Structure 1
Amino acid sequence: MRFLIAFVAIIGYASAGAILSHLAYGVNPGDAQAAAIDATVAAQDTARAINEGHARAAEAVVQHNTEAVRQAAEASREIHETAYWNGVAATQNAVAAAQSHSAAVSGAAAAVRAAHLASPLVTAPYGIAAPYGIAAPYTAYGAYGVAPYGLGVHAW
């Protein structure tokens, strides 16, 4: 914009000089008209070039901003995708841990059942079942360790 103002000032100075020189030297009116046309065309070309430069600069800014927005959106998408898959992995790990604990408890219960069925059991005196409701097989209270009132070996 400063260049345009300076250019117009120079053209004005040159025009004033041309007008004054006509008075002093007596220039041909055709030459003065041609000089005015040349100055007008030069000013229009300069203004057009400045406007084209502004348009190119504005286009470059728009392209730069568009690229910056695209990169920010891509980075955000990658962050959210990573967070999503980390959540999926954490959920799968929690399910696997719960299944491992369930299997461990089931294994421990099976081991306890097997130990109770395989070990020699003793019935407490006076018709009371041994601790934990387990009685020995073939006791005085019946076959297979069944004690009175449903006390005895449980199938759990």
Structure 2
Amino acid sequence: MTITDHHLEQLTAPEPGAERKTIEKVSIVISKGSLEGVYPGLIMANGARMEGIEANLFFTFFGLDAITRKRQGRIKVATVGNPGMHLPTIVGALPGMSWMATKMMARKLEKLDIPPVPEFVELIADSGAGIYGCKATVDMFGLEDKDFVPQVTGVLTVGEFYDLAAGGEIVFT
């Protein structure tokens, strides 16, 4: 089945006389530590802030790399087992493939005026978005406050994250 413009209009059009609802708050969960795992959440948070929407980023598991001092500038494209690469796993495992894919993606992002992860995190924080680490993951990896970049607002439990996200949308990238 193909969604035509008419069908799309029917799906998105508000009822006649109904007030259109807008998103006022979004909380984005970033759990993957690869470029293709981190950038979607950063781009969504940036877009939300540009539209005046409250945005919070919650980094968990390997997504924490994007806000960890030692790892933030070293995030790479995942070439092994990544179906989006359209490469056999064995080719993705060859030495230098991840480095090459990362360099290629960095060039494409630069052409689109999308900043590197450290600069992007700083830009999003400066726009007023909240940047949080997941307490369970922080404890599991043995991390401390000093391990994080200065833009990190805090470390939250999952329950605290839900309280923060209350009344808004939660997006898992």
Normalising by structure 2, report the TM-score.
0.19
* Higher RCO (C-alpha 8 Å, min separation 6): 2
From the two aligned structures, give the one with the greater helix fraction. Answer: 1
Larger Rg: 1
Normalising by structure 1, report the TM-score.
0.21
